[in-house]
Amino acid sequence: MKIEDLIPVHESERRAGIGIIGCADIAVRRALPAIRESPFRLVAVASRSQGKAEGVAASFDCEAVAGYGRLLELPDIDAVYIPLPNSEHAEWARRALNAGKHVLLEKPAVPGEETARDLVGLAEERGLLIMENFAFLRHPQHDQARSLVADGAIGELRSYNGVFGIPPTDPHGIKYQADLGGGALWEVGCYPVRAAQEYLGSSTEVLGAGLEFDPELGVDVSGVALLRDGDGVTANCSFGLSHSYRSTYDLWGSEGRLTLEWAFTPSRDARPVLRLQQRDRETRILAPASDQFLGVFNAFHDALRDPAARPAHHHELVRQAALMARIRARAAGKGDS
């Protein structure tokens, strides 16, 4: 027995335990390494397969659990990260909240506003946090961009243009399965849409939207959405699963333009470039290298410890779900006009 085992630890000082529901690639590559550097204590990882759970757990020195429900029964888990297919997010988030666990949901959290409000309502009723994982927002380049805009570096903001496209991959992958919540809007379109909301006002309307479907795959493989806020600032969001890789957005103002060249998925060692164009001068600003997934788990932990920080995360989750649902409805010929 270790000496520290004999010393009682006050609840507020105990490291919060976290478990992972599912062994998705994003969890193994980015989330689990980040958790080990975060304030969380990694307790367990769950899979439907005991063998798969053991393979992942062995690499990260934690417990392997067969079955998601069994992980929720572990008493030393305070929070869970859910990187399951989109179609399973709502069910397992609800079950985790009912089990008394804080929840970090991989993006996109849920496909509709009503479901989002129900989950947030359940979290608040039980004194818990539910947060959507848009890791890119935790990279310092976005803090730099917001500061430059707020300081008037490009004058008054007139429009935003965001693009995220990736090349085709295995057509049998989850992102191409309609019944699992796949498709370009959910897989990549959510990024430029979420980034746009950092700069648009709260009263955002969907002026237009379109989705291109692959008849063999049965899911949308590209699309576009045009948004506008109450001040007349517009946002054009383009996305696709059949493109060369592009991950960028730019902000066009009355006196200049700011471009983030690697906005959504920079590696942890990369130093993304921001290009500020003012009249006939261009300034290249080098952002620091940063593990944006570590930033997510730090932010999640902070809000878990500080109830006053939770309403903002809840509001953002509902706002994003509502806007994404309206974009999809508009693309189908319904919704905003």
Answer yes or no: do 238 and 152 share one domain. Answer: yes
Tally the domains of the chain.
Answer: 2
Per-residue pLDDT tens over the stretch 184-243? 999 999 999 999 999 999 889 999 999 999 999 999 999 999 999 999 999 999 999 999
CB–CB of 135/299 below 8 Å? Answer: no
Q: Does residue 6 lie within any of the structural domains?
A: no
pLDDT of residue 3: 38
Report d(CA 46, CA 40) in Å as an integer: 17
Residue that terminates a domain, selected from 91, 118, 136: 136
The answer to whether residues 202 and 243 belong to one domain is yes
Residue 62 lies in a domain: yes
Distance (Å, whole) CA 61 – CA 81: 17
CA neighbor of 253 nearest in space, from 160, 163, 141:
160
Ramachandran class of 95: left when φ > 0, alpha when ψ lies in -120 to 50, beta otherwise? alpha
Predicted confidence at residue 202, as pLDDT, reads 83
Residue 211 CA, chain-centre distance (Å), reads: 21
Same domain, 224 and 253: yes
Given a contact cutoff of 8 angstroms between Cβ atoms, the answer to whether 149 and 123 are in contact is: no
Question: In which residue are the tokens 């859910």 written?
Answer: 82
Q: In one letter, which amino acid is 170? A: D
- Ranges assigned E (strand) in the chain: 17-21, 41-47, 63-66, 79-82, 102-106, 130-133, 157-165, 205-214, 219-228, 234-240, 246-253, 257-260, 273-278, 281-286
Q: Do 148 and 123 reside in the same domain of the chain?
A: no
- DSSP for residue 216: T
Give domain status of residue 227, yes or no.
yes
* Boundary-marking domain end, from 289, 309, 331: 289
Examine the domain organization and report whether 266 and 167 are in the same domain. yes
Low-confidence ranges of the chain (pLDDT < 50): 1-11
Domain assignment present for residue 242? The answer is: yes
Pair (17, 112) in one structural domain: yes
Strand-pairing partners, residue 171, are: none
pLDDT, one tens digit per residue, over 45-84 is 999 999 999 999 999 999 999 999 999 999 999 999 999 9
Report the pLDDT value the prediction gives residue 1, as an integer from 0 to 100.
Answer: 38
- Hey, which residues are catalytic here? 107
Looking at the fold, whether 179 and 220 belong to one and the same domain comes out as yes
pTM of the model: 0.94
Q: Are residues 35 and 169 in the same domain?
A: no
Residue 241 belongs to some domain of the structure:
yes
Give the separation between CA 290 and CA 272, rounded to whole angstroms. Answer: 10
Residue that finishes a domain, picked among 102, 136, 170: 136
Q: Are residues 264 and 170 in the same domain?
A: yes
CA distance 152 to 197: 18
Please state, in angstroms and rounded to a whole number, the distance separating the CA atoms of residues 79 and 128.
9
Q: Give the domain extent around 29.
A: 12-136
Residue keyed to tokens 């955002």? 204
Residues in the chain: 337
